[in-house]
Amino acid sequence: MIDLHTHTTCSDGTDTPSALINKALAQGVKIIALTDHDSVAGWAEATAALRADIELALGAEISCLTESGTSVHMLGLLFDGTNAEMLTMLEQTRDDRVPRMVKMIELLNDAGIHVTMQDVEEAMPHGATMGRPHLADALVKRGVISSRDEGFKELLNNESQFYVAHIAPTPETAIAQIRAAGGVAVIAHPFASHRGEILKPEAFSSLVAAGLNGIEVDHRDQNVQERAMLHDIAQELGLVMTGSSDYHGTGKLNRLGEWTTSPEQWEKLEAQADKRRVVRAGNQ
Ligand code: AMP
Ligand code: ZN
Ligand code: FE
Ligand code: FE
Protein backbone atom coordinates (compact mmCIF):
# COMPACT_ATOMS: atom_id res chain seq x y z
CA MET A 1 0.00 0.00 0.00
CA ILE A 2 1.37 3.41 -0.98
CA ASP A 3 -0.14 6.55 0.59
CA LEU A 4 1.46 9.81 -0.59
CA HIS A 5 -0.36 12.53 1.40
CA THR A 6 -0.66 12.70 5.21
CA HIS A 7 -0.61 15.28 8.02
CA THR A 8 0.60 15.27 11.63
CA THR A 9 0.68 17.54 14.68
CA CYS A 10 3.29 19.57 12.78
CA SER A 11 0.33 21.08 10.93
CA ASP A 12 -3.37 20.27 11.39
CA GLY A 13 -3.23 16.49 11.88
CA THR A 14 -3.71 14.96 15.32
CA ASP A 15 -1.09 12.14 15.30
CA THR A 16 2.55 12.94 16.02
CA PRO A 17 4.97 12.00 13.21
CA SER A 18 6.10 8.87 15.10
CA ALA A 19 2.49 7.85 15.82
CA LEU A 20 1.76 8.23 12.11
CA ILE A 21 4.63 5.91 11.18
CA ASN A 22 3.51 3.34 13.76
CA LYS A 23 -0.06 3.46 12.52
CA ALA A 24 1.03 3.13 8.91
CA LEU A 25 3.19 0.11 9.79
CA ALA A 26 0.33 -1.53 11.68
CA GLN A 27 -2.01 -0.99 8.73
CA GLY A 28 0.35 -2.41 6.14
CA VAL A 29 1.30 0.85 4.40
CA LYS A 30 4.64 0.13 2.69
CA ILE A 31 5.46 3.64 1.49
CA ILE A 32 4.12 6.73 3.21
CA ALA A 33 4.66 10.40 2.40
CA LEU A 34 4.68 12.98 5.19
CA THR A 35 3.19 16.19 3.78
CA ASP A 36 2.42 18.70 6.50
CA HIS A 37 1.15 22.10 5.39
CA ASP A 38 4.05 24.45 4.56
CA SER A 39 6.43 22.67 6.93
CA VAL A 40 9.21 20.10 7.19
CA ALA A 41 9.13 20.17 11.00
CA GLY A 42 8.06 16.52 11.27
CA TRP A 43 10.78 15.03 9.07
CA ALA A 44 13.30 14.18 11.78
CA GLU A 45 10.81 12.52 14.13
CA ALA A 46 9.18 10.49 11.34
CA THR A 47 12.60 9.38 10.10
CA ALA A 48 13.68 8.32 13.58
CA ALA A 49 10.48 6.25 13.99
CA LEU A 50 11.16 4.12 10.89
CA ARG A 51 11.60 0.37 11.19
CA ALA A 52 11.79 -2.50 8.71
CA ASP A 53 8.88 -2.87 6.26
CA ILE A 54 8.09 0.80 5.75
CA GLU A 55 9.64 3.52 3.61
CA LEU A 56 9.19 7.25 3.98
CA ALA A 57 8.89 9.91 1.28
CA LEU A 58 9.56 13.22 2.99
CA GLY A 59 7.55 16.16 1.71
CA ALA A 60 5.23 19.08 2.35
CA GLU A 61 1.86 20.30 1.07
CA ILE A 62 2.51 23.81 -0.12
CA SER A 63 -0.38 26.28 0.02
CA CYS A 64 -0.48 28.25 -3.25
CA LEU A 65 -2.59 31.02 -4.78
CA THR A 66 -2.98 31.52 -8.51
CA GLU A 67 -2.72 35.04 -9.95
CA SER A 68 -6.52 35.14 -9.97
CA GLY A 69 -6.69 34.11 -6.31
CA THR A 70 -7.67 30.44 -6.57
CA SER A 71 -6.35 28.34 -3.70
CA VAL A 72 -4.22 25.39 -4.89
CA HIS A 73 -2.31 22.82 -2.83
CA MET A 74 0.97 21.47 -4.21
CA LEU A 75 2.57 18.33 -2.80
CA GLY A 76 6.35 18.56 -2.88
CA LEU A 77 7.95 15.15 -2.32
CA LEU A 78 11.56 13.96 -2.11
CA PHE A 79 13.10 17.44 -2.13
CA ASP A 80 16.27 18.46 -0.32
CA GLY A 81 15.06 19.59 3.10
CA THR A 82 18.12 21.80 3.58
CA ASN A 83 17.49 23.84 0.42
CA ALA A 84 17.53 27.46 1.66
CA GLU A 85 15.13 28.91 -0.94
CA MET A 86 12.61 26.17 -0.25
CA LEU A 87 12.79 26.70 3.51
CA THR A 88 12.39 30.46 3.03
CA MET A 89 9.33 29.98 0.82
CA LEU A 90 7.68 27.75 3.43
CA GLU A 91 8.61 30.10 6.27
CA GLN A 92 7.09 33.15 4.54
CA THR A 93 3.78 31.34 4.24
CA ARG A 94 3.86 30.10 7.83
CA ASP A 95 4.70 33.61 9.10
CA ASP A 96 1.81 35.20 7.23
CA ARG A 97 -0.65 32.66 8.64
CA VAL A 98 -0.45 34.52 11.98
CA PRO A 99 -1.71 37.99 10.85
CA ARG A 100 -4.19 36.15 8.62
CA MET A 101 -5.58 34.38 11.71
CA VAL A 102 -5.80 37.72 13.53
CA LYS A 103 -7.93 39.06 10.67
CA MET A 104 -10.23 36.02 10.65
CA ILE A 105 -10.69 36.32 14.42
CA GLU A 106 -11.55 40.04 14.03
CA LEU A 107 -14.20 39.24 11.42
CA LEU A 108 -15.71 36.57 13.70
CA ASN A 109 -15.64 38.93 16.70
CA ASP A 110 -17.32 41.69 14.64
CA ALA A 111 -20.13 39.21 13.92
CA GLY A 112 -20.52 38.53 17.64
CA ILE A 113 -18.65 35.20 17.68
CA HIS A 114 -16.23 35.31 20.56
CA VAL A 115 -12.85 33.64 20.09
CA THR A 116 -9.33 34.88 20.73
CA MET A 117 -5.83 34.34 19.37
CA GLN A 118 -4.96 32.78 22.72
CA ASP A 119 -7.72 30.19 22.19
CA VAL A 120 -6.21 29.30 18.82
CA GLU A 121 -2.69 29.08 20.23
CA GLU A 122 -3.94 26.79 22.99
CA ALA A 123 -5.67 24.58 20.42
CA MET A 124 -2.46 24.22 18.43
CA PRO A 125 0.36 21.74 19.09
CA HIS A 126 3.71 23.43 19.72
CA GLY A 127 5.50 24.28 16.47
CA ALA A 128 2.55 23.45 14.20
CA THR A 129 1.68 25.40 11.07
CA MET A 130 -1.27 27.56 12.17
CA GLY A 131 -4.45 26.93 10.19
CA ARG A 132 -8.21 27.15 10.11
CA PRO A 133 -8.58 23.70 11.71
CA HIS A 134 -7.00 25.11 14.89
CA LEU A 135 -9.49 27.98 14.79
CA ALA A 136 -12.22 25.37 14.40
CA ASP A 137 -10.89 23.50 17.44
CA ALA A 138 -10.94 26.77 19.43
CA LEU A 139 -14.56 27.36 18.37
CA VAL A 140 -15.45 23.80 19.42
CA LYS A 141 -13.92 24.45 22.83
CA ARG A 142 -15.98 27.64 23.12
CA GLY A 143 -19.11 25.67 22.22
CA VAL A 144 -19.78 27.66 19.03
CA ILE A 145 -19.63 24.55 16.82
CA SER A 146 -19.44 20.83 17.52
CA SER A 147 -16.65 19.73 15.17
CA ARG A 148 -14.03 20.85 12.63
CA ASP A 149 -16.32 19.55 9.91
CA GLU A 150 -19.23 21.70 11.07
CA GLY A 151 -16.85 24.66 11.34
CA PHE A 152 -15.84 24.29 7.69
CA LYS A 153 -19.43 23.87 6.55
CA GLU A 154 -20.63 26.97 8.35
CA LEU A 155 -17.96 29.52 9.15
CA LEU A 156 -14.51 28.71 7.88
CA ASN A 157 -14.72 27.50 4.25
CA ASN A 158 -13.14 29.43 1.37
CA GLU A 159 -16.47 31.00 0.37
CA SER A 160 -17.33 32.20 3.86
CA GLN A 161 -17.48 35.88 4.84
CA PHE A 162 -14.89 35.10 7.53
CA TYR A 163 -12.31 33.63 5.16
CA VAL A 164 -9.07 35.52 4.69
CA ALA A 165 -6.27 34.31 2.41
CA HIS A 166 -2.61 34.33 3.44
CA ILE A 167 0.49 35.05 1.40
CA ALA A 168 1.38 32.06 -0.77
CA PRO A 169 3.48 31.36 -3.86
CA THR A 170 1.80 30.73 -7.21
CA PRO A 171 1.59 27.03 -8.12
CA GLU A 172 4.19 27.63 -10.84
CA THR A 173 6.62 29.18 -8.35
CA ALA A 174 6.10 26.32 -5.89
CA ILE A 175 6.65 23.70 -8.60
CA ALA A 176 9.82 25.39 -9.83
CA GLN A 177 11.13 25.62 -6.26
CA ILE A 178 10.36 21.96 -5.50
CA ARG A 179 12.12 20.88 -8.70
CA ALA A 180 15.09 23.17 -8.04
CA ALA A 181 15.44 21.41 -4.67
CA GLY A 182 15.56 18.05 -6.45
CA GLY A 183 12.02 16.94 -5.63
CA VAL A 184 8.84 16.10 -7.50
CA ALA A 185 5.63 18.14 -7.60
CA VAL A 186 2.16 16.58 -7.49
CA ILE A 187 -0.88 18.85 -7.50
CA ALA A 188 -3.16 17.86 -4.60
CA HIS A 189 -6.93 17.35 -5.09
CA PRO A 190 -7.14 19.88 -7.96
CA PHE A 191 -10.85 19.26 -8.64
CA ALA A 192 -12.08 19.19 -5.04
CA SER A 193 -14.93 21.44 -6.19
CA HIS A 194 -16.94 21.49 -2.98
CA ARG A 195 -14.09 23.33 -1.25
CA GLY A 196 -14.52 26.38 -3.48
CA GLU A 197 -13.06 27.76 -6.68
CA ILE A 198 -11.00 25.15 -8.58
CA LEU A 199 -8.50 25.20 -11.42
CA LYS A 200 -9.76 25.18 -15.00
CA PRO A 201 -8.57 22.20 -17.08
CA GLU A 202 -6.62 24.59 -19.33
CA ALA A 203 -4.52 25.72 -16.34
CA PHE A 204 -2.59 22.45 -16.33
CA SER A 205 -0.38 23.24 -19.34
CA SER A 206 1.28 26.14 -17.52
CA LEU A 207 1.88 23.85 -14.52
CA VAL A 208 3.48 21.27 -16.79
CA ALA A 209 5.68 23.98 -18.30
CA ALA A 210 6.80 24.85 -14.74
CA GLY A 211 7.79 21.19 -14.16
CA LEU A 212 4.70 19.50 -12.65
CA ASN A 213 5.24 15.72 -12.29
CA GLY A 214 1.90 14.37 -11.21
CA ILE A 215 -1.77 14.80 -10.35
CA GLU A 216 -3.53 13.49 -7.26
CA VAL A 217 -6.40 11.79 -9.03
CA ASP A 218 -7.85 9.55 -6.33
CA HIS A 219 -8.85 11.56 -3.26
CA ARG A 220 -12.05 11.53 -1.23
CA ASP A 221 -12.88 15.15 -2.09
CA GLN A 222 -13.09 14.34 -5.83
CA ASN A 223 -16.13 12.54 -7.17
CA VAL A 224 -16.11 9.89 -9.86
CA GLN A 225 -16.48 12.41 -12.72
CA GLU A 226 -13.78 14.68 -11.33
CA ARG A 227 -11.42 11.71 -10.99
CA ALA A 228 -12.18 10.58 -14.54
CA MET A 229 -11.43 14.07 -15.90
CA LEU A 230 -8.15 14.20 -13.99
CA HIS A 231 -7.23 10.74 -15.23
CA ASP A 232 -7.70 11.94 -18.82
CA ILE A 233 -5.72 15.15 -18.22
CA ALA A 234 -2.86 13.18 -16.64
CA GLN A 235 -2.82 10.73 -19.51
CA GLU A 236 -2.86 13.49 -22.13
CA LEU A 237 -0.06 15.43 -20.43
CA GLY A 238 2.05 12.39 -19.53
CA LEU A 239 1.75 13.02 -15.79
CA VAL A 240 1.94 10.51 -12.96
CA MET A 241 -1.40 9.70 -11.30
CA THR A 242 -1.46 9.34 -7.54
CA GLY A 243 -4.08 8.40 -4.99
CA SER A 244 -3.87 9.17 -1.31
CA SER A 245 -5.73 9.57 1.93
CA ASP A 246 -4.86 13.12 3.07
CA TYR A 247 -4.99 11.57 6.54
CA HIS A 248 -5.32 14.04 9.45
CA GLY A 249 -5.72 11.66 12.42
CA THR A 250 -9.02 12.47 14.15
CA GLY A 251 -9.01 15.95 12.55
CA LYS A 252 -10.82 14.65 9.47
CA LEU A 253 -12.78 11.56 8.51
CA ASN A 254 -10.07 10.43 6.04
CA ARG A 255 -8.67 6.97 6.88
CA LEU A 256 -5.01 6.12 6.28
CA GLY A 257 -4.66 4.24 2.99
CA GLU A 258 -8.28 4.85 1.92
CA TRP A 259 -6.92 5.81 -1.51
CA THR A 260 -3.52 4.61 -2.70
CA THR A 261 -0.97 5.00 -5.49
CA SER A 262 -0.02 2.02 -7.66
CA PRO A 263 3.58 0.75 -7.46
CA GLU A 264 4.04 1.50 -11.21
CA GLN A 265 2.97 5.13 -10.82
CA TRP A 266 5.13 5.52 -7.70
CA GLU A 267 8.17 4.13 -9.50
CA LYS A 268 7.62 6.57 -12.35
CA LEU A 269 7.29 9.47 -9.90
CA GLU A 270 10.27 8.55 -7.77
CA ALA A 271 12.47 8.27 -10.85
CA GLN A 272 11.81 11.96 -11.58
CA ALA A 273 13.50 13.19 -8.39
CA ASP A 274 17.15 14.18 -8.86
CA LYS A 275 18.32 11.19 -6.83
CA ARG A 276 16.97 8.40 -4.64
CA ARG A 277 15.71 10.16 -1.57
CA VAL A 278 13.29 7.65 -0.06
CA VAL A 279 14.19 7.03 3.56
CA ARG A 280 14.42 3.55 5.09
CA ALA A 281 15.28 2.48 8.63
CA GLY A 282 19.06 2.49 8.95
CA ASN A 283 19.88 4.37 5.73
CA GLN A 284 19.46 7.96 6.96
P1 AMP B 1 -5.75 26.69 6.02
O2 AMP B 1 -4.51 25.93 5.65
O3 AMP B 1 -5.61 27.42 7.29
O4 AMP B 1 -6.26 27.56 4.90
O5 AMP B 1 -6.88 25.60 6.29
C6 AMP B 1 -7.22 24.69 5.28
C7 AMP B 1 -7.07 23.27 5.77
O8 AMP B 1 -8.18 22.93 6.55
C9 AMP B 1 -7.10 22.26 4.63
O10 AMP B 1 -5.84 22.07 4.09
C11 AMP B 1 -7.60 21.03 5.32
O12 AMP B 1 -6.52 20.30 5.84
C13 AMP B 1 -8.44 21.55 6.46
N14 AMP B 1 -9.88 21.30 6.20
C15 AMP B 1 -10.61 21.67 5.14
N16 AMP B 1 -11.89 21.25 5.25
C17 AMP B 1 -11.96 20.58 6.42
C18 AMP B 1 -13.00 19.88 7.11
N19 AMP B 1 -14.24 19.83 6.62
N20 AMP B 1 -12.68 19.29 8.29
C21 AMP B 1 -11.45 19.37 8.80
N22 AMP B 1 -10.43 20.01 8.19
C23 AMP B 1 -10.67 20.61 7.02
ZN1 ZN C 1 -4.85 19.97 6.52
FE1 FE D 1 -4.91 20.00 0.71
FE1 FE E 1 -3.64 17.72 2.82
The phi, psi pair for 5, rounded to 5°, reads: -160, 105
Which pairing describes strands 184-188 and 71-77: parallel, antiparallel, or unpaired? antiparallel
- pLDDT digits 0-9 by tens, 56-86: 999 999 999 999 999 999 999 999 999 999 9
Domain 2-91+170-280 has CATH 3.40.50.720: no
Give the Cα separation of 63 and 75 in Å (integer). 9
Q: Which segments of the chain does DSSP mark as H helices, in order?
A: 17-26, 43-48, 84-110, 117-123, 132-141, 148-151, 171-180, 204-210, 224-237, 263-270
Average pLDDT, the chain: 96
Q: Quick one: pLDDT band at residue 195, thresholds 50, 70, 90? A: confident
Cβ(131) – ligand 1 distance below 6 Å: yes
Q: Averaged over 213-221, what is the pLDDT? A: 98
CATH of domain 97-156: 1.10.150.650
In this structure, the residue with its CA closest to atom 5 of ligand 1 is 132
149 within ligand 1 shell (Cβ under 6 A): yes
Number of Cβ atoms within 10 Å of the Cβ of 101? 22
* Residue, of 32 and 193, whose pLDDT is higher: 32
Query: Whole-prediction pTM value?
Result: 0.97
| Predicted confidence band of residue 196 (pLDDT cuts 50, 70, 90) | confident
Domain ranges of the chain: 2-91+170-280, 97-156
Q: How confident is the model over 119-129, as a mean pLDDT? A: 97
pLDDT more than 70, % of the chain: 100
Give the pLDDT score at 197. 82
134-148, 162-176, 188-202, 242-256: which range is least confident on average? 188-202
Using the mean position of ligand 2's atoms as its centre, give its distance from the Cα of residue 114 in Å.
24
Residue 284 has pLDDT above 70, yes or no: no
Average pLDDT over residues 1-10: 98
